[in-house]
Amino acid sequence: MWLGALLFSASVILNISLLWNHKYFGFDRSYLEENLSWSRRAALEAEAVASVNCSGHGRAYLDGTSSEEDDHAEKWKLPVCECNTCYGGSDCSQFFHDCAADVDSGDPLFLEPFWMKHAASSAVLVTGWHRMSYSFPDKSSVSQELEKHIRRMHAVAKNAITHDKYIIFGGGSTQLLGAAVYALSMNLSSPASVVAATPFYPLYEVQTEFFQTVRFEFDGDASALKKYADNVIEFVTSPNNPDGNLRRPVSNGTPIYDHAYYWPHFTAIPAPSDQDLMIFTLSKLTGHAGSRFGWAFVKDKEVYDRMTRYISLAEMGISREAQLRALQLVKAILRSDNNGAEIFDFGMGKMRDRWRRLNDVVSLSTRFTLQKIPVRFCNFFQKLREPSPAYAWVKCEREEDGNCTSVLRAANIIGRAGSVFNAEDRYVRLSLLKSDDDFDLLVYRLRQLIVDEGVDPKII
């Protein structure tokens, strides 16, 4: 009798524990931990590739080219290292001394160390049969789970009011910028003038002109418009690329808020943005520019429908793999330390330190100046905070240095010319977003340039 009672209790306990595991992990976790089957190979392969030693100056990737020596059928063909700029050799240990500091592109590699620290929570394994269908069960092409997590992310960052707006996913924010111009221009009675205040992100002009229709055309600098020009669509980039300043519209047109950099990494967040059309991107939030994933919040149903139709005709919704990866990354952020604030602490700290280091060097020069960004109160950090912009907008002050890009190029620094942003070539943009290697080399080359100007190297 007592044996029966014992067996009954044991079975109840086992069932409760299985139920508990099922409820919280959706499966019998301990059993699977010991008995992984088909996923084991993928996990081993991912870890083998991650362990390829590139001396801290490069990375090996699962889809990288494999080395010849490992070409045995029974062995994995481990991919070769892809080295950071100015590093080479099979393990990236070789530094090329004469190599230029390439700070042209806005590649957000500064966040790579954050993801290496969060390797476990950010990894995702994709089954061979993952979401093969054109649509989700609700017939949409949008992951509801991702939508929910993105809204939570904004609530943590305190950078946008999202509850009263529709959300649209795009192939990077690049695609959504085009979709927004298309959708807004359909609302207007005559062809739209698409504008942005100088200096502006060049894609607005290039893309609008490339996809120009009878409904809209690019019309240049917003500040040059007559105050009450009709049928204007204005790109408002806040914070701005290239100069990092928060912006408001300068025309009375319909604004498209490009909030690619409206995250605590790059700017104080004075208040959550509550605009009718706001565009964000994974590229500058998590650094995953290669995943090509962005989203827009839209207040007006008609504009939302038109933008959705644009995306649907362009590519029938965004890749399910990109959505899955974005979901895993956003989840990893939300589960990280400090109630999901860790990435902002990391990002802001890194960008602020870079800005300080750059200022320390450039402030000794009379030949170059940097843009001014005010110290502001940040709603996210709940304090006044220093600037931490994504780019330096450098001005060459000497009369004869009319082409600042050439001045820097002669000093082995590759920046992006002011004229690319519709500004004077006396300005040049330097990206502060790239890897530590890129930034360190930039500071080193700038220091050399300033020593050549006659500044005592001991004080730099």
Ligand X SMILES: Cc1ncc(COP(=O)(O)O)c(C=O)c1O
Residues that bind ligand X (CB under 6 A): 106, 172-174, 201, 237, 241, 258, 260, 281, 283, 289, 294
**Of 267 and 365, which CB lies nearer to ligand X in the complex structure?**
267
Answer for the pair 281, 172: CB distance below 8 angstroms, yes or no.
yes
Report the nearest approach of ligand X to the CB of residue 180 (Å).
11
**Of 173 and 435, which CB lies nearer to ligand X in the complex structure?**
173
Tokens (6 digits) for 45: 């392969």
- Helix 342-362 crosses helix 436-452 at what angle (to 10 degrees)? 10
Cα within 13 Å of Cα(331), Cβ side: 14
The residues near 375 (Cβ < 8 Å, ≥ 6 apart) are: 268, 384, 385, 386, 387
DSSP assignments along 220-284, one per residue: EEGGGS-TT-SSEEEEEESS-TTT------SSSSEEEEE-TT-STTTS---S-B--SEEEEEHHH
389, burial (CB in 10 Å: exposed 0-12, middle 13-18, buried 19+): buried
**Which single residue is written with the structure tokens 């780019």?**
391
**Of 141 and 283, which CB lies nearer to ligand X in the complex structure?**
283
CA distance 232 to 211: 17
The Cα diameter of the chain in Å comes to 101
Q: What are phi and psi of 82, to 5 degrees?
A: -105, 110
**Of 282 and 407, which CB lies nearer to ligand X in the complex structure?**
282
The residues near 386 (Cβ < 8 Å, ≥ 6 apart) are: 352, 355, 356, 375
**Of 88 and 202, which CB lies nearer to ligand X in the complex structure?**
202
**Of 308 and 365, which CB lies nearer to ligand X in the complex structure?**
308
Beta-strand ranges (E) seen in 79-191 are 82-83, 87-88, 94-95, 101-102, 166-170
Report the nearest approach of ligand X to the CB of residue 238 (Å).
9
Report the nearest approach of ligand X to the CB of residue 118 (Å).
21
Report the nearest approach of ligand X to the CB of residue 235 (Å).
9
Per-state percent for the chain, helix, strand, coil, to nearest 5: 40, 15, 40
**Of 172 and 317, which CB lies nearer to ligand X in the complex structure?**
172
CA distance 313 to 124: 29
Report the nearest approach of ligand X to the CB of residue 134 (Å).
24
Report the nearest approach of ligand X to the CB of residue 223 (Å).
18
**Of 118 and 429, which CB lies nearer to ligand X in the complex structure?**
429
171's enclosing H/E stretch is: none
Report the nearest approach of ligand X to the CB of residue 448 (Å).
28
Report the nearest approach of ligand X to the CB of residue 284 (Å).
7
- The partner residues of 296 in beta bridges, in order of sequence, read 168, 279
Residue closest to ligand X, measured at CB: 172
CA 74 to chain centre: 39
Bond into 389 cis (ω within 30):
no
**Of 231 and 237, which CB lies nearer to ligand X in the complex structure?**
237
Cα within 13 Å of Cα(409), Cβ side: 11
CA distance 290 to 293: 8
Q: Name the nearest CA neighbour of 392 among 207, 174, 241.
A: 241
**Of 195 and 260, which CB lies nearer to ligand X in the complex structure?**
260
Report the nearest approach of ligand X to the CB of residue 456 (Å).
37
**Of 57 and 154, which CB lies nearer to ligand X in the complex structure?**
154
Report the nearest approach of ligand X to the CB of residue 173 (Å).
3
Report the nearest approach of ligand X to the CB of residue 263 (Å).
12
Report the nearest approach of ligand X to the CB of residue 288 (Å).
9
**Of 289 and 417, which CB lies nearer to ligand X in the complex structure?**
289
